[in-house]
Structure 1
Amino acid sequence: METIQNPIVLQRADPFVYKHRDGFYYFTGSHPAYDRIIIRRAQHLSDLYDAEEHTVWRKHSEGPQSDLIWAPELHRINGKWYIYYAASPDDKIVDDTFNHRMYVLENESDNPIEGEWKEKGQIDPGWSTFALDATTFEHNGVQYYVWSQQDLDITGHSNIYIAEMENPWTLAGPPVLLTKPELSWEIKGFWVNEGPAVLIRNGKVFITYSASATGIDYCMGMLTADTDADLLNPDSWTKRQEPVFESYTPNQQYGPGHNSFTVSEDGNTDILIYHARNYTKIEGDPLYDPNRHARAQVITWKEDGTPHFGVPAADDRWTPDTTKILTKEDEYE
């Protein structure tokens, strides 16, 4: 397969890559201004770096979707495109978290860069607290929704839940708690389980997720269930007691996480997509440090059929040395 050059996209955290049947990789992620949803596409992962960026949706001028647009994901369901994302009415902290809720857009065109994106509204999980980082997957004829949400009766900022979907914007049943922050590496800075991503291989369903605050302590954990198990039964899932992917100082990669999965151009190799910073000293609020860059690397597999993510690969491309948000007028060296 082709050599992947990292980063694959500068200053786009929470990266999500979808490889479509048209041969293109479609990329989205959190824009550091948190005011829009963007899509890029390229035939090679490394070409996403300087691919044209299209803004397909912007935040509202007021109301519940007017601030802090986070973590969009692009999915293809029943011949239509959907973007799942989180939005807030403001940047205030309530109950020790922000005010995000989960929303979805729909596009009926063949190319998600074209056509009209229609708002399908808020996805209601059954209670109203901080909620974000939704993903979705189909398995054995059932569409599932997996996301992060706060429960005020559970210590911490966010837990991970799963539910069956009635359609791409409606849940069909009650949320099921899969994991909460409880292990020492999940509660550094903040008590967080967030950013779930799904990979189905070797008779197993794997859900990776991210934990702790978004600096050097940010890392990835993993849940595993058998493909023939009841995925809505918490007892079907086994939680790894150690991180599966974490900061690696020799390569100057810190806080890797909020991942997604894609495949190589020939479809034969699984690839991990994630963000990380290449420095540890952050001035001011980490939320407004834009240099969490999107990265990619090949996944290998252990003899027991579980994924081995290795360590975050070193950068081999230019990255910015300031916290200025890059614009299209800025030149990549």
Structure 2
Amino acid sequence: MLAFSTVITSGPNLYLPKKPRNFHFPIRCLSSTSLSASSQPSKLTQFDLKTYWTTLIAEINQKLEEAIPVKYPEQIYEAMRYSVLAKGAKRAPPVMCVAAYELFGGNRLAAFPTACALEMVHTASLIHDDLPCMDDDPVRRGQPSNHTIYGVDMAILAGDALFPLGFRHIVSQTPTELVPEARILRVIAEIARTVGSAGMAAGQFLDLKGDANSVDFIQEKKYGEMSECSAVCGGLLAGAEDDEIERLRRYGRAVGVLYEVVNDVLEAKLVEKEETEKNQKKGKSYVSMYGVKKAMEVAEDLQTKSKGELDGFDKYGESVAALYSFIDYAFYRDFNVDDLS
């Protein structure tokens, strides 16, 4: 569990501590003292990160439970619920969507339908990603993958059903007195672009068929797109200006890739060499293509880039801290989101 309240400051370079010069491998849990007031400028504001995440995750879990009741044919719904409601889900897409929406003020209830839809779409992509014909992963979040339990045919159907259910949930549940229909249409178009042939599907294709020269494109499309979409949808729902939307787009994309790059480095460091090599054959990553050192250089650049995109939101005050928390989690892993749900 989180053992501290994250400290943030006002000013352009909020939230994350500078990396010490001799800090060559920052992927570890920092002690709470590394974020203590003594290491920060004098003007401090406390942001209770644990409460923010745990409250949101609990609310999102409840709404997802309600959004996917078991109907006929029961087995499809059971397969859908198995993955969407799986214990250990980080809920990063919906939390990022709500955080981006709340950056501009307003009632978070207006963002929940889109947030839940993003989780449905994200889960559908994971179900399909795990299939034997794709990445062939028998385990997801410490539990058997969907196709391992329900079979390949049912897993395909569960994913196929979750995509349109997400769109329907946005249309049927978003309060139009809080979000104009024009904004809802933009959100739907954004999600459709993200999962389609110009987005995540393109990344999966090149992960299967591309070469080492495709790694940048693969990482951005397979892993950056969902995070990008989540941040952008929050901004669209809130009526953010076009330049603010583009900042959120670049921020979300950088955070999504950052998380995956760090994840690959962690696996390379913690898993036995033979097992690591076997895992790396499943997909193309900066670690598998260029090694840990290059991957860490990429991660550091992405951390700097994502922080830079948020500098322009200082005028919104303390609420921007929630978006900074994604950078911290992706790069430092200061807290374990797996323990929050």
TM-score bracket for this pair, using the shorter chain length: 0.3 to 0.5
Structure number with higher relative contact order (C-alpha < 8 Å, ≥ 6 residues apart): 2
What TM-score comes out, normalization by structure 1 length? 0.34
User: Which structure has more helix as a fraction of its residues?
Assistant: 2
TM-score w.r.t. the length of structure 2 is: 0.33
Which has the larger share of strand? 1
